[in-house]
Structure 1
Amino acid sequence: MPRASATTTKRPTPAQLAPLATRQVAAAPLLPQPQLERLLAVAMERGADFAEVYVERGLLTAVVLEEGRIKSAQTGLTQGVGVRVISGAKVGYAYSDDLEEAALLRTARTAAMIAQGGGSEQSYKVSRTPAPSYYKVPTPLADIDVARKAELVLRADKAARGFDKRITQVNGSYADVTKRIAVGNTLGHYTEDTQDLCRLSVQVVAEGKNKERRTGFYGGGGRVSFSHFDTFTPESVGREAARQAIATLGAAECQAGPQTVVLAPGWSGILLHEAVGHGLEADFIRKGTSLFAGKVGQKVASDLVTVIDDGTVANSRGSINVDDEGVAGERKVLIEKGVLKGYMYDSFNAKLMGQRSTGSGRRESFKHMPLPRMTNTYLAPGDHHPEDIIKEVKRGLYCAHFGGGQVDITNGNFVFEVSEAYQIEDGKLGRPVKNAILIGVGPEALKNVSRVGCDPMPDPGLGTCGKDGQSVPVGVGLPTLRIDNMTVGGTKVA
């Protein structure tokens, strides 16, 4: 991938950080339709059930700040073609970043050989399928001067450092991409989409008494115009990251053992994404490795729990007009009032399971095959007021912000680090605690949900989900949520 970088020790000028890629590159055609149809024919020349050509061109920007200065500012172009051939349950996949005719034909033949079909070459025609529009970015992010993007990070750094003198370190980053994709297949479908995506983030370190150090992290973005940062300002990002770090200085050790846990709205939805969402993806269901396999129509959660995966949310980080197989994004009710309603399907697993795609086939880039993945996964709101939810708890833990976590799909076991947490004493938030960890089993945690707030909130646009070595942008959301009898790990035994 062509890439250029500039390292500076002072604020960069527009001339220093001018993008390498031009608007003409962004607007250039992807792959001529006759050439795409030729690739489909070659991919099917050994015989198969299905072939698909995926074309991608992306213009990227990345700015990194350390120690109050822009460390690097990069722009780059990535482009390539992936060819997938399916014969029964066999899949052949090959890709090329060389767009010359001979290289693309070799790529198609390689995918055909891997799938090991048998037959003769035929011709295939594709026709354009209109795509919905859930995100409109009038000026592509690739057309915005890199100096303006670097300015966001510098402003966030200044705000974080100015928040409190105990802030000792600030790291910031800004990244965006203007990506165009085209997908054509032997069913005759052809779809194009343009996907802009950006994120600004800041991580800070605060130092208190006795050299105690605490960190804070915040940021956001989405499939939005650059003007998004006129209201979601870098100053607010820097101050919130700093507030988190300062708030937990002097925190007490978290008490271990079963507790009533209250989750703050918004980013806490990452727990839902990991502990429940992955187990509802069709590849795990088909293989029988998910705890939710074979349970459609069964009670798997509290009556208060309705889980939705929605790729149609306007401008959200996980939204898609079409997935990476060219299927339109959908709003999918996965669990309704505690009853499992369905799964998330890509085209491949849907066909093998006698289902239809739910627009959940996603891939990181042309170098990867699509997999069933989440988009924006959230819990529907309930009827309880957030203040009342906390007031009802005599003793428990309030989880304001989450760090990392992991889940075992086969048994639903999850572990999550809580980066900002507070004791709840007699219905009121008390002192901050540190080293809190939530431990549980996804379905059991859902069954123990006893209150759901009326304050739904999406995350600010932070999420990136990893699966099988691929990363894709996602959104999460949650109203204030109470879970009873949750196992909390800590360093202090009750």
Structure 2
Amino acid sequence: MSNLALTDELFFDRAGLDKGRTQDIVDGALNGADDGELFLEYSQSESLAFDDGRLKTASFDTTQGFGLRAIAGEARGFAHAADLSEDAIKRAADTVRAVHGGHNGKMDLGPKGTNRALYTAENPLQGFTTEAKIGVLKEIDAYARAKDPRVRQVTATLMGSWQAVQILRAGGQRVADVRPLVRLNVQVVVGDGDKMEAGYYGCGARMSFDNYVDPETWQHATDEALRVALVNLGAVEAPAGEMEVVLGPGWPGVMLHEAVGHGLEGDFNRKLTSTYSGMIGQRVAAKGVTVIDDGTLPDRRGSITVDDEGTPSARNVLIEDGILVGYMQDRQNARLMGVPATGNGRRQSHAHHPMPRMTNTYMAAGDADPEEILKSVKRGLYAVNFAGGSVDITSGKFVFSMNEAYLVENGKIGPAVKGATLIGNGPDAMGKITMIGNDMKLDDGIGTCGKDGQGVPVGVGQPTLKMTIAVGGTAA
């Protein structure tokens, strides 16, 4: 069954909406507007958390609803409800119609159709019983405790969701997507006397639970969480100052996401509030640096067959060989800036309006051997993993904390350090990249991006990188 047929069954057959009358309401609400859409959503989600030897939380939610939006110039009218009924959509139409009273706009239908199937449409919540999932979480707890007597606490979580959406536009255009999403998290706390440290590992994708209840997967996740916890247990205080830093492949790309990616979203650049505003065609990074946002990667956490406005997702090159070549756009900002939409109009749910958001954002591989990159460091840090960070979009300034990092002396990896942070400015840091590895890797599927109070799943990635940057440390 196609995504459109499946969502027709959900929204028109089961919910009782009449397809023709619903389209008439949308046409009337958007008559004279520049743009807009009716976004229909049905979703199921489940979360099971096992903590300290027992099931701590278990939840299962089903939600449905719609969001209706009309756009006139820079203004938008938006109304939403959890009531999938014709009367509710009519009331929403009366509300949003007010935004374009007397406005002579032009409806921009944009690209039509969808991408090839990027992921299964099967509901991952129906593949395994709750009891079977709890059994896996119990096994994770027992496995971690048996691995090392220093294990004090184990927290394991399995989460899954299934979201079906359909977007209706004026004139009869309809597109749909059906999106599965699963995730496994494991955190292990170890102790030695009064000293305690934690390690974490997570993984996920747009697929069923099969891969994540497989012993090979959850044992690897548990081993990694335990390994990081034990590394941190023996870590020394981090040095401070400007130094050479090597960033590992994969999840360290979260720094690229935060420090650079958000600054390349269309709304910030249209409003001239990004440090990258007005810089198309200019050098914003070192030669060799190519940054891509790609929503078309099969099964990836950040992938979407179509975005939440109905535009097919795409592979968008943002920075090419250090030169800024494009921004990520939703339909409204693309129209106001006179450029095509890029398939980056995303929203958390039917209760939220769409805006430019990242999908899977990564730096392309270079040609350097990762081992040679490490050997080139006289004194610095090797940052394998990050805990989190923050960025100021206007200035580009950022701070990121590392949860696994090592001293490097004369090309050799030394002891682990704790309390290290990276401090810098996005464009400045991108200009100080001196070596780019040939080992580009995407993260293991754990990213959630926050913007304007909304969270959406994303992916990040990069190869091994070397740069000179300020490090905040705790060593006296």
TM interval, short-chain normalised: over 0.9
Any idea what SS the aligned residue of 2:71 has?
strand
Distance 2:332 2:307 in 1: 13
Q: 1:355 aligns with which of 323, 339, 347?
A: 339
In 1, are the aligned partners of 2:261 and 2:358 still within 8 Å (CA)? yes
Give the CA deviation at 1:134. Answer: 4.3
Distance 1:231 1:205 in 2: 21
Deviates more, 1:152-161 or 1:325-334: 152-161
What RMSD over aligned residues (CA atoms) do the two structures have, in Å? 2.1
Distance 1:58 1:103 in 2: 19
Equivalent position of 2:46 in the other structure: 61
Q: Which runs of 5+ in 2 are unaligned?
A: 1-5, 13-17
In 2, are the aligned partners of 1:312 and 1:331 still within 8 Å (CA)? yes
Equivalent position of 1:203 in the other structure: 187
Any idea what SS the aligned residue of 2:417 has?
strand
Any idea what SS the aligned residue of 1:316 has?
coil
Distance 1:95 1:174 in 2: 30
Q: 2:29 aligns with which of 23, 43, 53?
A: 43
Distance 1:295 1:156 in 2: 50
Equivalent position of 2:288 in the other structure: 304
Distance 1:243 1:35 in 2: 59
Distance 1:466 1:232 in 2: 31
Distance 1:401 1:157 in 2: 24
Equivalent position of 2:3 in the other structure: none
Distance 2:215 2:9 in 1: 32
TM-score (norm 1): 0.89
Distance 1:266 1:64 in 2: 26
Give the CA deviation at 1:138. Answer: 6.2
Distance 1:49 1:297 in 2: 29
Deviations 1:310-361 (A, max 9, x none): 0011100000100000100100110011000100000010011111100000
1:416 aligns with 2:400: yes
Distance 1:396 1:175 in 2: 38
Q: Runs (4+) of structure 1 moved beyond 4 Å?
A: none
Give the CA deviation at 1:187. Answer: 5.1
Any idea what SS the aligned residue of 2:233 has?
coil
Distance 1:482 1:443 in 2: 15
Q: 1:332 aligns with which of 298, 309, 316?
A: 316
Give the CA deviation at 1:167. Answer: 1.6
Any idea what SS the aligned residue of 2:349 has?
coil
Distance 1:138 1:29, change over 3 A: closer
Equivalent position of 1:10 in the other structure: none
Give the CA deviation at 1:163. Answer: 2.7
Deviations 1:372-422 (A, max 9, x none): 000000110011111111011111101111001000000000000001110
Deviations 1:247-283 (A, max 9, x none): 1113111011001000111100100000000000000
Equivalent position of 1:465 in the other structure: 449
Equivalent positions of 1:436-447 (< 5 A) are 436-447=420-431
Deviations 1:452-479 (A, max 9, x none): 1111111000100000000000000111
In 1, are the aligned partners of 2:283 and 2:324 still within 8 Å (CA)? yes
In 2, are the aligned partners of 1:56 and 1:366 still within 8 Å (CA)? yes
Distance 2:408 2:171 in 1: 57
Any idea what SS the aligned residue of 1:228 has?
coil
1:277 aligns with 2:261: yes
Deviates more, 1:147-156 or 1:336-345: 147-156
Give the CA deviation at 1:101. Answer: 1.7
In 2, are the aligned partners of 1:312 and 1:329 still within 8 Å (CA)? yes
Distance 2:122 2:331 in 1: 33
Equivalent position of 2:165 in the other structure: 181
Deviates more, 1:378-387 or 1:198-207: 198-207
In 1, are the aligned partners of 2:164 and 2:178 still within 8 Å (CA)? yes
Equivalent position of 1:318 in the other structure: 302
Give the CA deviation at 1:44. Answer: 3.2
Deviations 1:207-237 (A, max 9, x none): 124x122111111111112222237611111
In 2, are the aligned partners of 1:156 and 1:237 still within 8 Å (CA)? no
In 2, are the aligned partners of 1:436 and 1:490 still within 8 Å (CA)? yes
Any idea what SS the aligned residue of 2:298 has?
coil
1:77 aligns with 2:58: no
Q: State the AA in 2 paired with 1:118.
A: G
Equivalent position of 2:474 in the other structure: 491
1:100 aligns with 2:85: yes
In 1, are the aligned partners of 2:348 and 2:456 still within 8 Å (CA)? yes
Deviates more, 1:414-423 or 1:183-192: 183-192
Any idea what SS the aligned residue of 1:410 has?
coil
Give the CA deviation at 1:160. Answer: 2.5
Any idea what SS the aligned residue of 2:334 has?
helix
TM-score (norm 2): 0.93
In 2, are the aligned partners of 1:134 and 1:320 still within 8 Å (CA)? no
Equivalent positions of 1:147-296 (< 5 A) are 147-186=131-170, 188-209=172-193, 211-229=194-212, 230=214, 233-296=217-280
Q: State the AA in 1 paired with 2:273.
A: T
Distance 2:25 2:151 in 1: 56
Equivalent position of 1:34 in the other structure: 20
Equivalent position of 2:73 in the other structure: 88
In 1, are the aligned partners of 2:72 and 2:103 still within 8 Å (CA)? no
Deviations 1:69-97 (A, max 9, x none): 11222222110000001111110000010
Q: Which runs of 5+ in 1 are unaligned?
A: 1-24
Any idea what SS the aligned residue of 2:39 has?
strand
Q: State the identity %.
A: 45
Q: State the AA in 2 paired with 1:61.
A: E
Q: State the AA in 2 paired with 1:464.
A: T
Give the CA deviation at 1:157. Answer: 2.3
Aligned residues: 461
